[in-house]
């Protein structure tokens, strides 16, 4: 099991704190000896991948070391995950292998006087205090820090909100944004983009506030002096409930009966499969639809003599295993799984980008544009 270092390691001789993280065994053979660069505040430092990746945090101050360690440790873990997932992860390795870093001065290279470290370039999600800190760059910093702390779906949902906020803020520095700017964006989201006030309050403002709160705290390096989203909310119209929130028996029968009639679609087989099986899966398991639409072929398996499904993408981020109901097996669900290609059962990865704000598994019939 990979070693998870919760705190920075202090060198007993020098008193300087270090990042120490074990390289996953499954990746060591491929990555050992590779030189990567890891961000320590606003500078990329090179380090060679070995059984243990160790890098000085360049500080003896415990509180500062914790901040630097959290960002560097989260960034490195994101690299491991990206390497496991392969190209589909959508992670640009050139960010940390040096190919996207600032070009060295030609004369200094020729004279051999250049440093092994480089200031963070505009392509990097990490910025020096003197550089422009856009909303998009701020989000990427938070996403790297949160890679091992937040559920993947949470980061994905937040990305959708920040795509709209970044488009609104354009090239403005995030540190210059005020509560009035945030409120104006929320109104634009409602009046121009047609998002309900309730959804904006519950989703968009929660996402932006969460990231800005992190950026104004110690774990975010106090990039911002305060959180401008604090206290911002749109007035929500009073909604009078017209009926109960649960489905009625006849509605349940209609939904499940309709699912039984769904036919295979050669043009978009995973979308047809989701309509055929997900209503029945949720009826017999109580799982959320987004949990089910993220199922992969490998998630359907035997355990203790019964068939189960592993729900890996959950609201809490914790894997949950649920038995399969016998009626699902009688309907041919296991035959469907056996004849499916490896990978997602209910969505086509080619139709979805990793940085999309939509949850995976909701096939919309074509590529999603940014």
Mean pLDDT along residues 131-135: 82
Mean pLDDT along residues 152-157: 86
pTM of the model: 0.50
pLDDT at residue 98 tops 70: no
Is residue 5 within 8 A of residue 21, CB to CB? The reply is yes
- So what's the pLDDT on residue 131? 64
Q: In this structure, what token pair is assigned to residue 199?
A: 């959804």
pLDDT at residue 129 tops 70: no
Centre a 10 Å sphere on the Cβ of residue 4 and count the other Cβ atoms it contains: 10
In the chain, what percentage of residues exceed pLDDT 90? 43
For residue 103, the SS3 value is: coil
pLDDT at residue 329 tops 80: yes
pLDDT at residue 232 tops 50: yes
Longest dimension (CA), the chain: 80
CA distance 295 to 312: 8
**Strand duo 52-56 + 17-22: pairing:** antiparallel
- So what's the pLDDT on residue 81? 82
Which helix or strand (DSSP H or E) is residue 22 part of?
Answer: strand 17-22
Mind giving me the DSSP string for 127-176?
--TTS---HHHHHHHHHHHHTTTS-HHHHHHHHHHHHHHHHHHTT--GGG
pLDDT at residue 201 tops 90: yes
pLDDT at residue 360 tops 60: no
Mean pLDDT along residues 197-209: 95
Least confident of 137-151, 244-258, 351-365: 351-365
CA distances from 311 to 168, 344, 355, 360 (A): 36, 12, 21, 13
pLDDT band at residue 152, thresholds of 50, 70 and 90?
Answer: confident
- Strands (DSSP E) contained in 28-113 are 35-40, 43-48, 52-56
Give the torsion sign (CA, 164, 169, 172, 174): negative
- The rounded Cα 171 to chain-centroid distance in angstroms is 23
pLDDT at residue 363 tops 50: no
- So what's the pLDDT on residue 38? 86
- The rounded Cα 84 to chain-centroid distance in angstroms is 15
CA distance 70 to 145: 7
CA distance 278 to 219: 40
DSSP 8-state assignment for residue 112:
T
pLDDT at residue 117 tops 60: no
pLDDT band at residue 229, thresholds of 50, 70 and 90?
Answer: very high
pLDDT at residue 153 tops 70: yes
Mean pLDDT along residues 123-135: 55
Query: What are the pLDDT digits (tens) for 28-39?
Result: 888 888 888 888
Instruction: Tell me what the pLDDT averaged over the chain comes to.
Output: 81
CA distance 273 to 263: 8
């Amino acid at each position: 099991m990979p070693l998870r270092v919760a705190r920075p390691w202090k060198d007993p001789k020098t008193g300087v704190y270090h990042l120490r993280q074990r390289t996953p065994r499954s990746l060591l053979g491929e990555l050992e000896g590779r030189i990567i660069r890891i961000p320590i505040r606003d500078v990329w430092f090179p380090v060679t991948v070995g059984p243990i990746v160790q890098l000085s945090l360049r500080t003896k101050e415990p509180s500062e070391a914790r901040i630097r360690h959290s960002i560097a440790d989260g960034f490195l873990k994101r690299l491991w995950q990206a390497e496991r997932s392969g190209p589909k992860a959508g992670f640009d390795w050139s960010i940390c292998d040096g190919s996207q870093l600032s070009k060295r001065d030609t004369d200094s290279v020729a004279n051999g006087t250049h440093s092994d470290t480089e200031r963070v370039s505009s392509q990097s999600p990490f910025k020096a205090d003197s550089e422009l800190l856009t909303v998009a760059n701020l989000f990427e910093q938070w996403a790297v820090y949160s890679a091992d702390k937040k559920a993947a779906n949470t980061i994905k949902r937040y990305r959708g909100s920040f795509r709209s906020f970044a488009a609104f803020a354009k090239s403005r520095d995030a540190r210059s944004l005020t509560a009035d700017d945030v409120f104006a964006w929320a109104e634009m989201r409602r009046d121009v983009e047609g998002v309900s006030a309730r959804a904006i309050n519950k989703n968009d403002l929660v996402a932006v506030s969460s990231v800005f709160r992190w950026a104004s705290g110690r774990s975010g390096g106090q990039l911002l002096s305060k959180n401008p989203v604090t206290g911002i909310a749109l007035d929500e119209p009073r909604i009078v409930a017209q009926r109960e929130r649960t489905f009625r028996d006849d509605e349940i029968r209609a939904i499940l009966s309709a699912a039984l009639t769904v036919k295979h679609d050669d043009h978009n087989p995973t979308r047809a499969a989701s309509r055929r099986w997900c209503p029945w899966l949720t009826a017999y398991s109580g799982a959320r639809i987004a949990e089910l639409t993220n199922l992969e072929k490998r998630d359907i398996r035997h355990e203790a003599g019964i068939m189960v499904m592993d729900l890996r993408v959950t609201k809490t981020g914790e894997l949950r295993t649920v038995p399969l109901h016998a009626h699902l097996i009688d309907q041919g669900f296991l035959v469907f799984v056996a004849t499916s290609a490896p990978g997602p059962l209910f969505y086509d990865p080619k139709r979805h980008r990793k940085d999309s704000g939509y949850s995976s598994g909701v096939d919309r019939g074509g590529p999603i544009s940014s």
